[in-house]
Amino acid sequence: MALDLREATGGERDPATAGGYAEPPERVGFFTDTSVCIGCKACEVACKEWNAVPEDGLLFTGMSYDNTGSLGADSWRHVAFIEQPRRLGRQETHLAPTELPPDLLRSAGGRTAVSLGLPASAPPDGHVAAAADMDFRWLMSSDVCKHCTHAACLDVCPTGALFRTEFGTVVVQEDVCNGCGYCVPACPYGVIDKRPSNGLVSKCTLCYDRLSVGQEPACAKSCPTDSIQFGELAELRERAAGRVRDLHDAGVTSARLYGADPQDGVGGAGAFFLLLDEPEVYGLPPDPVVTTRDLPAMWRRAGLAAVGLLVALAAVTIPGARR
């Protein structure tokens, strides 16, 4: 029996309805507007406090103000910091005198000579600042599980530990997970991770326990500048589109949405973002695809091959055919 997994997850349909929930509530999610993020990391702490996620190491990374590093089993929110020689809209930074006399420039070592080895300190288009071009911006963005419409982690989970909730979110059930780890490589964003202390997988639940009593997730609730907004996905997408228009009008032409498009490789993310640069700059995959996308076709081909093989085998083994 060949099963179309994408069909099964509902295609364009609401994932909760597709998951067998009768009359589910509206699908909810996060809209993270990084243009107002102040990098305070309240989301990281509020998440840990609510979900009792353990502290996971005192590592000074040197990556700007980011000492969390990445999302992981013990970091369900991660704030990225990107220091860039680029201009933010009409912001003026005046970070360096633009006309240094040559001798001073020499004594100052020049502003382009030193490589910091910082991640993404240059944007992907290879733009390199010249000595006189001291445009600068400091981008901050709080990353989280995307709660994909087509979630590969769900597809590959053999135990039913990962499941789609009635809110359309994707949650790991600790009491079911056996730690097989299939979901870890299945995630196109590298979000899912195993916790070393118990071997089980853990990630953002979009505060499933809070949703069920009508409360918003802890990170969104704490966010001082409303960079993380929680709500019904459809409404959030509208709001986000408006915000992009406003920013474009304000001269921030690099503003774009990431994960808001239901036509993208994961069928649209339940947690999507307004970014000010290419996704790679923030450590996000530019064109994520549900890793199980080709599974039905693969199964079909494998089935066909198996059938073909069986036919061929039959051809050579059925006694009558030998003659």
Q: Which of 1, 20, 287, 321 binds another protein (CB under 8 A)?
A: 20
- Does 19 bind another protein (CB under 8 A)? Our answer is yes
- Does 56 bind another protein (CB under 8 A)? Our answer is yes
CA-CA distances (angstroms) from residue 103 to 88, 99, 106? 30, 11, 5
Q: Which of 29, 72, 85, 119 binds another protein (CB under 8 A)?
A: 85
- Does 51 bind another protein (CB under 8 A)? Our answer is no
Q: Which of 11, 13, 91, 308 binds another protein (CB under 8 A)?
A: 91
Q: Which two tokens stand for residue 77?
A: 């929110």
Beta-carbon contacts of residue 15 (< 8 Å; ≥ 6 apart): 9, 27, 149, 164, 168
Min. distance of Cβ 167 from another protein in angstroms?
Answer: 11
Of the candidate spans 48-56, 179-187, 256-264, 315-323, the one that interacts with another protein by CB under 8 A turns out to be 48-56
Torsion-angle region of 52 (φ positive above 0: left; ψ -120 to 50: alpha; else: beta): left
Min. distance of Cβ 21 from another protein in angstroms?
Answer: 5
Contact 182, 159 (CB under 8 A): no
Q: Cα–Cα distance between 23 and 167 in angstroms, integer?
A: 11
Min. distance of Cβ 139 from another protein in angstroms?
Answer: 8
For another protein, the closer of residues 200 and 218 by Cβ is 218
| Strand-pair partners of 143 | 78
- Does 93 bind another protein (CB under 8 A)? Our answer is yes
For another protein, the closer of residues 117 and 319 by Cβ is 117
Contact 34, 139 (CB under 8 A): yes
First to last CA, the chain: 34
Judged by CB under 8 A, how many residues of this single chain contact another protein? 92
- Does 128 bind another protein (CB under 8 A)? Our answer is no
Q: Which two tokens stand for residue 203?
A: 């990630």
- Does 90 bind another protein (CB under 8 A)? Our answer is yes
Subset of 190-209 contacting another protein (CB under 8 A): 207-209
